[in-house]
Structure 1
Amino acid sequence: MASSSSSAITTEELTLTVKWSGKEYTVRVCGDDSIAELKRRISEVTNVLPKRQKLLYPKVGSKLSHDATLLSQLPLKASLKMTMIGTVEDDLLIDPVESPEILDDFELGQEEVIDIKDKDVNKQKLRRRVEQYKIETRNPCRKGKKLLVLDIDYTLFDHRSTAENPLELMRPYLHEFLTAAYAEYDIMIWSATNMKWVELKMAQLGVLDNTNYKITALLDHLAMITVQSDTRGVFDCKPLGLIWAKFPEFYSSKNTIMFDDLRRNFVMNPQNGLTIRPFKKAHANRSNDQELMKLTQYLLAIAELDDISKLDHKHWEYYTENGSKRRRHA
């Protein structure tokens, strides 16, 4: 660990003191962490979401407002205290519709994806996340089942439209999809929001207490890691390696698939990600959205394979279409 006399953070771990709302909190960080990762660590102990945080530190100034800045580039010392200004959201009252919408999804080149996935710094971040994040299982993992990991916003639910009843914003065929998938897959929900909102939304949609299927676990934004690309800068992603490390006897790259409307979220495990069409403007599109119905066919069709990571999930519709043709000819 770096000593308190160090002039800046090294690649080793350092414990920082953060003052907020009259109390002091300690967070452990490394020099290869970014400001975004520091905010995530602060969020863990204060429940103030990263987007609500403003950090103040002697002589650092505006650099703390840039999430991409690495901590090793700042003169941080363990002997000094950082101040955080921010407000805890009451997740039961404030809907994420107030937050800015992420419109700039992007697709990285294959070489850049490989570079991000294989970088030692990102592997180290993943190892630390495995050590720090605890996955609470709601239902037991089932031996012999594959794993389906699902995003929420724009994947299962239109979180930006308004309605008196949340069920009006639920993606069509959600319960039928989960019921069919559960026969072959354990199901985990992973959202980039916080856990209270995940639990609230899934409860409102009737997902947590459905008698036809069971959810194995819920994950939130604290399970994500921050990575950096040469062309797209710093962004968060959902490393499936976290789940594989927690449940190695059940899940691996060979039997896991993740659905998300943002392809950036599976940059650490591109062979396991399927980019789902976003479900937006629920009131206008509810009557003609059949994405989950079609994806049910795909999931069941590939469930018999020993290694689904060998598939190119970009072409899932073609795979399903060919399967239907083969069944008709047979």
Structure 2
Amino acid sequence: MDTSSSNVPVKRSHSESSCNEAYTTENLIQQPAALDSLPETAEVEDEMVRESVLIDVVWRGSEQYPLRIPKYATILSVKALLEELTGVDAESQKLLGLVRGQLPRDSDTLVGLGVSSGTRVRLVGTPLCDRLQPREGLSGSGLWESEMPPGPSDDAISGGLARMARSQVLSTDWQMQLQRIVEDTEIRVLNAPRAGRKLVVLDLDYTLFDCKNVSGNVTDMARPGLHEFLAAIYPVYDLIVWSQTRWHIVESKITLLGMLTHPHYKITTALDISSMLTIHALRNGREVDHQVKPLEFIWTRFPDHYCRQNTIHIDDLSRNFALNWQNGLKIRAFKRADTQPRTDTELYKLARYLLHISALPSLEALDHSQWHSYKN
């Protein structure tokens, strides 16, 4: 495709390079005609609602968290949601009232325990921030609050200011960290990579999921159009979820959201905080240490499928792109879904953009910072 005559934003400079997987006109996947032609997912989501139970969790005597959760969810999944809402880490939580006279096992399911809607549960546990003092110089309030920025919020920065706020890496120490992570980190491949597909790497919290939605309704926590978006791009993109939390939290969230069992798309793998590394950088005029998601980790582990030319990383925090700016696409954060009208259309617009560029032999020349202004 000749990008000079298209509506796709292109960078002014572009270095010619190639990856192990050659993309030619013969092996390109045909672009779906339109997002509107997607298979209906409403029935799937309605089934998830029907197959759920409402439990009323009480903490500290007065704080209440009504959670509507699929009845097949494990106790660990329930704890994962409560960790996000209360700051009590899942390992320290005790849930009283689910089973008479004993504590349920993390592997037990709500349906297996016979939990019915309206069950009242008491949470016993203390937030980690109340039990541990943060180490000197460490920002943030704990593992569950992993998305707290080291400087001004990314949402408050736009246009030229956003470019000025980019993290300028000041040290090469990250290269040694990356080598160690590549060698030591286990990857759970859920579905094998497919030949000829490009790759979309997706953040989870505030990109696809409002992790602080106090309504506790998993259906409301998902960003509007989540399943339609993933189903639309799946024919031409493999999907990897990468979240800055621990593995059991990531697994619980994508399970509760129905992302592992949806009939119209499959997740290649999910990555957690153990695949991230820390860089020393200049950001917003001051030196900071912050974590990033190095795409080189994926490219090294899947060299026959993914590379710089066929990967897009979608995140609500631009600092996560620090090592791979040319591959980063910043999306507006999805927050306060419980109090604001569900008028968010980011994923519908993003699907059209990704489908429009999917036939390009390489994505390296694109300027994803302009994706939002793309017009059909």
Tell me, what secondary structure is at the counterpart of 2:278? Answer: strand
Match of 1:75 in 2: none
Q: Note if contact 1:227-1:237 (Cα within 8 Å) is conserved in structure 2.
A: yes
Listed one character per residue, the Cα deviations across residues 227-254 of structure 1 (whole Å, up to 9, x for unaligned) are 0113241001100000000001000010
The 1:210–1:274 alpha-carbon spacing in structure 2 relative to 1, beyond 3 Å, is same
The 1:265–1:169 alpha-carbon spacing in structure 2 relative to 1, beyond 3 Å, is same
Q: Note if contact 1:224-1:236 (Cα within 8 Å) is conserved in structure 2.
A: yes
Match of 1:102 in 2: 148
- Long gaps (5+) in structure 1: 1-46, 56-61, 69-86, 90-95, 325-330
Q: How far 1:128 moved relative to its partner?
A: 1.6
AA at the equivalent of 1:275: K
Q: Distance in 1 between matches of 2:341 and 2:229?
A: 15
- Long gaps (5+) in structure 2: 1-90, 93-127, 155-161
Tell me the TM-score normalized by structure 1. 0.66
Q: Distance in 2 between matches of 1:51 and 1:269?
A: 32
Does 2:288 correspond to 1:242? no
Tell me, what secondary structure is at the counterpart of 2:183? Answer: helix
Tell me, what secondary structure is at the counterpart of 1:207? Answer: coil
AA at the equivalent of 1:150: L
Q: 1:65 aligns with which of 136, 142, 147?
A: 136
Q: 2:218 aligns with which of 144, 166, 170?
A: 166
Tell me, what secondary structure is at the counterpart of 1:130? Answer: helix
Does 2:367 correspond to 1:300? no
The 1:67–1:139 alpha-carbon spacing in structure 2 relative to 1, beyond 3 Å, is same
Q: Distance in 2 between matches of 1:275 and 1:197?
A: 23
Q: How far 1:51 moved relative to its partner?
A: 7.4
Alignment of 1:183-262 (within 5 A): 183-230=235-282, 231-262=286-317
The 1:101–1:240 alpha-carbon spacing in structure 2 relative to 1, beyond 3 Å, is closer
RMSD: 2.8
Tell me, what secondary structure is at the counterpart of 1:161? Answer: coil
Q: How many residues align?
A: 238
Match of 2:231 in 1: 179
Q: Note if contact 2:210-2:337 (Cα within 8 Å) is conserved in structure 1.
A: yes
Q: Distance in 1 between matches of 2:146 and 2:309?
A: 36
After the TM superposition, list the runs of 4 or more consecutive aligned residues in structure 1 that deviate by more than 2 angstroms: 50-55, 64-68, 103-113, 283-287
Tell me the TM-score normalized by structure 2. 0.58
Tell me, what secondary structure is at the counterpart of 1:177? Answer: helix
Q: How far 1:217 moved relative to its partner?
A: 0.2
Q: Distance in 2 between matches of 1:260 and 1:101?
A: 11
Percent identical across equivalent pairs? 38
Q: Note if contact 2:146-2:244 (Cα within 8 Å) is conserved in structure 1.
A: no
Listed one character per residue, the Cα deviations across residues 260-309 of structure 1 (whole Å, up to 9, x for unaligned) are 10000111101001110001111344521000000000110111111112
Q: How far 1:112 moved relative to its partner?
A: 5.5
Tell me, what secondary structure is at the counterpart of 1:282? Answer: coil
Alignment of 1:75-86 (within 5 A): none
The 1:281–1:128 alpha-carbon spacing in structure 2 relative to 1, beyond 3 Å, is same
